[in-house]
Amino acid sequence: MGILKKAVSLFLFIVLGMAVTAHAQEFAISDYRDIPYIGSRNAVWIIAQVHLLFAGFVLGVPIFAFLCELIGYLTGEQRYDKLAKEFTKLLTSAFGTTATFGGILVFLLISLYPKFFNYLTEVFYVTYLFYASLFILETIVLYIYWYGWDKMMQRKKLHLFLGFLLNVIGIFIMYTADAWLSFQASPVVLSPDVQGWDRLWAVIHNPTWNPVNIHRLIGNVVLGGFMCGAYAGVKYLSSKTQEEREHYDWMGYIGNFIGIFGLLPLPFAGYWLMREVYEYNQQMGITLMGGFLSWLFILQAVLIGTLFLGSNYYLWQGLIRRTDEGIKYQKYITIMLVTLLACFMVWMTPHSLVASVEEARKMGGTHHPLLGVFGVMSAKLTVVNIMILTTFLSFLLYWRANKQVTVPWAKGARVFEVILFILVIIGVIVIGVYGYFVPAVFRVNVLSVSQVLIVLFVLVSISVMTALLLRNAKSTGVMKWGRMTPGSQYALVLNAVMVVLLMVMMGYARSASRVHWHIYGVMRDDSAYGFTPALGPAAAIQSLSAFIFGAFLCFIFWVASLSEKKGKETLPEGTMTLKEGVGSSYLYKVAGFVMSVLVAYTGLAYSLPQRESHPPVEEKIDLSTIQSGKDIAQLGSKIFFGKGQCALCHTIGTEGGRCPNLQGVGARLTREFIYETLTKPSAYIKLDFNDPHPIPFAAQMPTINKPPIDLNPQELLMVMSFIQAQGGKVTITPEELLGGVSGGSEAAAPVSDTEGTDSAVPEGGVGEGGETGTSTDPAVVTPAEGAAAPAAPGGGAKS
């Protein structure tokens, strides 16, 4: 008997074991896969980054080429046309590389992050098709644009239109991709009742989509301009004839000009993006600006400051070398240099300083009582505005060099300009100082915006005035190209490296601000790489990405130059040749220079505080501590603010949330109604009273007991008791809650009914809320409901 028993249990054990493994094998769909040694996150990171840099290049260069071609067409200067063509040639090969990296990225995402990619596809699959068709269109237009260049010389307008079309398609491609990534950072609520095109538009038009679009569009212009500058710089250094030198000197000037042109408005666009991030979710905003990532902004200050310094340096060099009497600008240049450096210092000063214990003791904390004032936003925005103004001034000097103004009102204009500049700089500083004495809201919404508007006003008005001033101006000399020092060409290369590093670094910042989420507040990153790396290791990967990008770009430049090498061997008679053997050694020098900049950047990042950000540990709920309804509500608050993600949209007591304020709702909502809104959010049609004719709309709330939030019946009861506790009496009892655990009681049964039929009302619930079937159709709105509802039309999509 005993043996039989043992045999049976052994048999059962084996069968059950097999069943379990079979079950596991059949349904083992991994959420994550890993690449040994490299790590799945690093692989995706690097490939995505290189893809993005190429994408920026491929989108930025057409804007640049189109502008140059347009200028060439309008002014009739052939060299602009030549420049545009030279860059379009690079496009064709860069385009293929971009697509290749994009393809690798998609494969990596599908294989390494299947759960996440599946979700994204579920939401966005229509845009995938749209994206693919845009890509085909872009390819066609690009090839016609490039191969038809010479053929269409006589039909320039048509060709220009093609260039315009190329850019429009490119912008749409970028906007589509921006929707995917901005959705990850600021997702909108997917309610089951908003379907089809409405839903698609809601997820595309999420709160940070537009700021990201604008920021990237301007950023691409900057990238295109400075990449052109760097290309010209290298070519200049390696040119063998004076003629080549002059051409590449001029090209570098144009690249730098367009780069600065884009750089000036870029901080404003970045500021807007930051504001939208804060508005969307302040936790994300604090992570970026005050918390874990705050040190990163010191790095950002170094990079942008260097960029400003580098491009100004190039302008000053141009002023000194290309004009005959450049040395007369020494005084102005020195003043501008000192101004820039002073602003740079203020910008770089961190709020909390790295100090040893003794030093901190002397300062009375990590904030310096005097210099601490430089550490906050008000000071930083002020100096950025002054740096922008200074750069504009450098540019003005350059613009007006070698020209004698002939218009009669020249003197008045000059006085006016000087006064305006002084006034504006004083004004910007006064506003900045005033910013210390007002609440943050006022500073962010009023003061910063007015600073920006003042500076923009100056940029535009002085530009227009100078253009008028210089009409019919007498020329006192021509720009002498090809006389620049090697140092200025390195400045061009440095600028390009800075722009690339900035893009790479802020990519890290944007991703890191999501902390441990794939899709913020919706899908958690449960992989081994859910943590955020510290600045140093992150900078190493960023530098590696930048290096890979640079290496591929060099390859593309080299491939593009293969076709034109033939004619170069025999120089025409009488050409002035420069020092022999100059060309190749400069290439190594430039490569070494770029490498040392990357290493220096990584080293700088390692010298800052190294902190990783780890996902919070989820608290285990201890049911044995529950004594009363109040305890349940206490646990419910944890779920409300934690796993349930309710607080991402709902506020309690404060206005400004994206969804109704839940203060005091417990007093006016029945338990049945609460249950129904959680499990069938669209059962009631609300009215939007913002409009004179109230518009009915379904609540934009996810079903709480279904994925991705997916609360279990017990958790649902806890949340309900928390809602009831908002001004009302908790009617959920501990027995009911604990009974739910055994699975036999009535409390759990209706909640687990995922279909949400009419019977799905918790115990004791045949009240007025019971007839859910009828309440769906008419606009059942109580005044109290209506008052709460207008805050929510379209969820976060419209805010």
Partner 1 sequence: MKVALCMAAFYLVLKFGVKPPLPSSLIFMYMALVTVGAVTYLSLFHDIKEAIIDPVLSFLGGGMEGAAAKGLRLIVLVALPVLVWWNAYQRLGTSIEPPLEQRVIHPAPPGEVTGLYNPFHVEEGEEISPETQARIDEGRDIYFKNCVFCHGDLLDGKGIFYHGFNPPPADFQDPGTIAMLQESYLFWRISTGGIGLPLESTPWNSAMPRWETMLSEEERWKVIMFLYNYTGHHPRTWE
For residue 106, which of 91, 128, 79, 89 has the smallest C-alpha distance?
128
Tokens of 153: 């010389």
Tokens of 472: 């019919």
Shortest Å distance, C-beta 780 to partner 1: 28
Q: Which of 587, 638, 668, 734 binds partner 1 (CB under 8 A)?
A: 638
Residue pair 451/432 in contact (Cβ under 8 Å)? The answer is: yes
- The nearer residue to partner 1, 248 or 520, going by C-beta atoms, is 520
Q: How many residues bind partner 1 (CB under 8 A)?
A: 82
Q: List, as one string, the DSSP characters of 490-558.
A: HHHHHHHHHHHHHHHHHHHHHHHTTTTEEETTTEE--STT-SBPPHHHHHHHHHHHHHHHHHHHHHHHH
- The nearer residue to partner 1, 321 or 680, going by C-beta atoms, is 321
What pairs with residue 475 in β-bridges?
A: 403
- Residue 366 CA to residue 240 CA, distance in Å, equals 55
Q: Which helix (H) or strand (E) holds 474?
A: strand 474-475
- Residue 685 CA to residue 699 CA, distance in Å, equals 7
Angle at 261 between CA 258 and CA 262, to 5 degrees: 95
Specify burial of residue 592 (Cβ count, 10 A radius: 0-12, 13-18, 19+): exposed
Q: Which of 96, 114, 291, 536 binds partner 1 (CB under 8 A)?
A: 291
> Which region, judged by CB under 8 A, interacts with partner 1, from 121-129, 434-442, 475-483, 694-702?
434-442
Q: What is the DSSP code (8-state) at residue 446?
A: I
- The nearer residue to partner 1, 204 or 320, going by C-beta atoms, is 320
Q: Which of 436, 457, 555, 558 binds partner 1 (CB under 8 A)?
A: 436
Q: Count of CB atoms within 10 A of residue 448's CB? A: 22
For residue 297, which of 355, 373, 349 has the smallest C-alpha distance?
349
Q: Which of 49, 287, 382, 703 binds partner 1 (CB under 8 A)?
A: 287
User: Could you check whether the bond before residue 708 is cis, i.e. omega within 30 degrees of 0?
Assistant: yes
Q: Which helix (H) or strand (E) holds 687?
A: strand 685-688
Q: Which of residues 754-783 bind partner 1 (CB under 8 A)?
A: none
Shortest Å distance, C-beta 613 to partner 1: 5
Q: Does 407 bind partner 1 (CB under 8 A)?
A: no
Q: Which of 397, 641, 689, 779 binds partner 1 (CB under 8 A)?
A: 641
Q: Does 654 bind partner 1 (CB under 8 A)?
A: yes
Shortest Å distance, C-beta 628 to partner 1: 15
- Per-residue binder mask for partner 1 (CB under 8 A), 371-390, x = binder: xx---x--------------
- Per-residue binder mask for partner 1 (CB under 8 A), 483-522, x = binder: --x-x---------------------------------x-
Angle at 673 between CA 670 and CA 679, to 5 degrees: 145
- Residue 238 CA to residue 583 CA, distance in Å, equals 4
Shortest Å distance, C-beta 372 to partner 1: 7
- The nearer residue to partner 1, 405 or 792, going by C-beta atoms, is 792
Q: Does 280 bind partner 1 (CB under 8 A)?
A: no
Q: Which of 57, 292, 508, 673 binds partner 1 (CB under 8 A)?
A: 292
What pairs with residue 524 in β-bridges?
A: 517
- The nearer residue to partner 1, 369 or 408, going by C-beta atoms, is 369
Q: Does 441 bind partner 1 (CB under 8 A)?
A: yes
Q: Does 664 bind partner 1 (CB under 8 A)?
A: no
Ranges of beta strands (E only) in 541-620 are: none
Crossing angle for the helix pair 156-185 and 209-238, nearest 10 degrees? 120
Q: Which of residues 49-108 bind partner 1 (CB under 8 A)?
A: none
What pairs with residue 9 in β-bridges?
A: none
Q: How far is CA 528 from the centre of its chain?
A: 24
Q: How far is CA 606 from the centre of its chain?
A: 23
> Which region, judged by CB under 8 A, interacts with partner 1, from 73-81, 439-447, 502-510, 776-784?
439-447
- The nearer residue to partner 1, 85 or 611, going by C-beta atoms, is 611
Q: Does 799 bind partner 1 (CB under 8 A)?
A: no
- The nearer residue to partner 1, 240 or 351, going by C-beta atoms, is 351
- Per-residue binder mask for partner 1 (CB under 8 A), 598-637, x = binder: -----------xxxxxx-x--------------------x
Q: What is the DSSP code (8-state) at residue 688?
A: E
> Which region, judged by CB under 8 A, interacts with partner 1, from 85-93, 189-197, 220-228, 370-378?
370-378
- The nearer residue to partner 1, 289 or 595, going by C-beta atoms, is 289
- The nearer residue to partner 1, 359 or 735, going by C-beta atoms, is 359
Shortest Å distance, C-beta 666 to partner 1: 13
Q: Which helix (H) or strand (E) holds 662?
A: none
> Which region, judged by CB under 8 A, interacts with partner 1, from 24-32, 132-140, 277-285, 789-797?
277-285
Q: What is the DSSP code (8-state) at residue 613?
A: B
Shortest Å distance, C-beta 730 to partner 1: 16
- The nearer residue to partner 1, 358 or 768, going by C-beta atoms, is 358
* Total residues found in the chain within this entry: 799
Shortest Å distance, C-beta 312 to partner 1: 9
- Per-residue binder mask for partner 1 (CB under 8 A), 538-557, x = binder: --------------------
- Residue 687 CA to residue 753 CA, distance in Å, equals 29
Q: Which of residues 700-729 bind partner 1 (CB under 8 A)?
A: none
Q: Which of residues 310-369 bind partner 1 (CB under 8 A)?
A: 313, 316-317, 320, 327, 330, 333-334, 337-338, 341, 344-345, 348-349, 351-369
| β-pair type (403-404, 474-475) | antiparallel
Where do the H-state alpha helices sit in 113-241? 114-147, 156-185, 196-204, 209-238
